[in-house]
Amino acid sequence: MIDSTFGPFSAALAPGAASSLGGEGTVASQVSRILDDLDGLAGQGSAASTAPTGQVHAAAATQAFVYLFAPLFQSFIREHPGILLSFRTTPSTDQTLVDILDGAVDVGFASRPVVAPSLQVTPLFEDRLWLVTGAEHPLAKAASADAAEIARERFILFERGASIRVATDAFFAKAKVVPATVLESNDTFFIKLMVRQGVGVSLLPAWAVREEVEAGTLARVPVEGEPLSRVVQLVTSGRPLSAAAKCFVEFTVARRDELQALARGNPSPA
């Protein structure tokens, strides 16, 4: 305790110091304040020593997640300066899962069903896909678009194997639509650019086009019928997590509501 460590402090005052400092009561109050300050510093040091440190390796199969998770990562880094967060993209969700199983990645994000007994899966939020068009497209001002209207469009889609492509292919099959695909890419920015240039339309999450919709360069249109959506999940191995990785997982899960708001295209709260 501070009192026992610094107890001799008051006894070390030179004779007559009390009167020169304004009286015995003044010295006692000053010593008390000093001891209180030292107690506070000791508490801060104790808190700092118990704060998790280390590195967290996170991964997802698409660069698009950077748009969604950037506010979350910024908040985590600000609140946990002792933890280094490393985020990278993988060629596919399957590769993300392999990296988790191999121990190369601590935490992964997947937006398609994950079936593996050795993995722990935590649903985070529902991610709805919208028909995205250029600002001057005939459907840009439409209240919604049905399967017949969609079938007449030329599509710019993600490459096969991407989780978002799996969701769109399932939608097309259920709606009995054979899309006229003019371009495929794994780059969200490129897809948005081509849509803006009028090359075709696409199916994208609201959060991926929030800034463009606000700027009036792209439009998002609800798709009629069964909601075109997927569930984004946090995935870890069944092995014990490091303190840093556990901290990141708990931080992320605690902010599911915030992530759901961002997924709907709402701005990140200040």
- 223 secondary structure, DSSP code: B
Which residue's structure tokens are 């492509």? 165
- Which whole number is the average pLDDT over 178-190? 93
pLDDT digits (tens, 9 = 90+) for 8-45: 333 333 344 333 334 445 555 555 554 455 455 444 45
Q: What is the pLDDT of residue 161?
A: 78
Residues with Cβ within 8 Å of residue 226, at least 6 apart in sequence: 174
Q: What is the pLDDT of residue 13?
A: 32
Do 62 and 110 lie in one domain? The reply is yes
Do 238 and 119 lie in one domain? The reply is yes
Which pLDDT band holds residue 187 (cuts at 50, 70, 90)?
Answer: confident
Does residue 268 lie in a domain region?
no
User: Distance (Å, rounded) from C-alpha 112 to C-alpha 206?
Assistant: 17
CA dihedral 60, 162, 210, 253 (to 10 degrees): -40
Do 37 and 99 lie in one domain? The reply is no
Do 110 and 148 lie in one domain? The reply is no
Do 110 and 176 lie in one domain? The reply is no
Alpha carbon distances (Å) from 78 to 51, 75, 107, 173 = 13, 5, 19, 44
Parent domain of 8: 2-50
- State the pTM of this model: 0.72
Lowest-confidence pick of 25-29, 64-68, 110-114, 140-144: 25-29
Q: What is the pLDDT of residue 37?
A: 53
Q: What is the pLDDT of residue 112?
A: 82
Does residue 176 lie in a domain region?
yes
Element (DSSP H or E) covering residue 27? helix 24-50
Q: What is the pLDDT of residue 10?
A: 32
Do 63 and 135 lie in one domain? The reply is no
Do 219 and 165 lie in one domain? The reply is yes
pLDDT digits (tens, 9 = 90+) for 119-172: 999 999 998 999 999 999 999 999 999 999 999 999 999 988 778 888 899 999
Six-digit token string for 228? 């075109």
The answer for 22, left when phi > 0, alpha when psi is -120 to 50, beta otherwise, is: left
Does residue 270 lie in a domain region?
no
Handedness of CA 197, 198, 204, 207 (dihedral sign): positive
User: How many domains is the chain partitioned into structurally?
Assistant: 3
Residues with Cβ within 8 Å of residue 40, at least 6 apart in sequence: none
Alpha carbon distances (Å) from 233 to 93, 112, 114, 161, 240 = 11, 8, 9, 17, 19
Q: Which of 50, 65, 85 is the last residue of a domain?
A: 50
Q: What is the pLDDT of residue 51?
A: 83
Do 221 and 159 lie in one domain? The reply is yes
Which pLDDT band holds residue 264 (cuts at 50, 70, 90)?
Answer: confident
Q: What is the pLDDT of residue 111?
A: 86
Pairing of strands 180-185, 83-89: unpaired
Q: Which carries the bigger pLDDT value, residue 112 or residue 46? A: 112
Does residue 109 lie in a domain region?
yes
Does residue 168 lie in a domain region?
yes
Does residue 197 lie in a domain region?
yes
Does residue 138 lie in a domain region?
yes
User: Distance (Å, rounded) from C-alpha 220 to C-alpha 140?
Assistant: 7
Q: What is the CATH number of the domain that holds 157?
A: 3.40.190.10
- Which whole number is the average pLDDT over 82-100? 91
For helices 243-253 and 65-79, the axis angle rounded to 10 degrees is 120
Do 95 and 159 lie in one domain? The reply is no
- Which whole number is the average pLDDT over 66-80? 88
Do 215 and 251 lie in one domain? The reply is no
Does residue 76 lie in a domain region?
yes
Do 192 and 150 lie in one domain? The reply is yes
Do 187 and 218 lie in one domain? The reply is yes
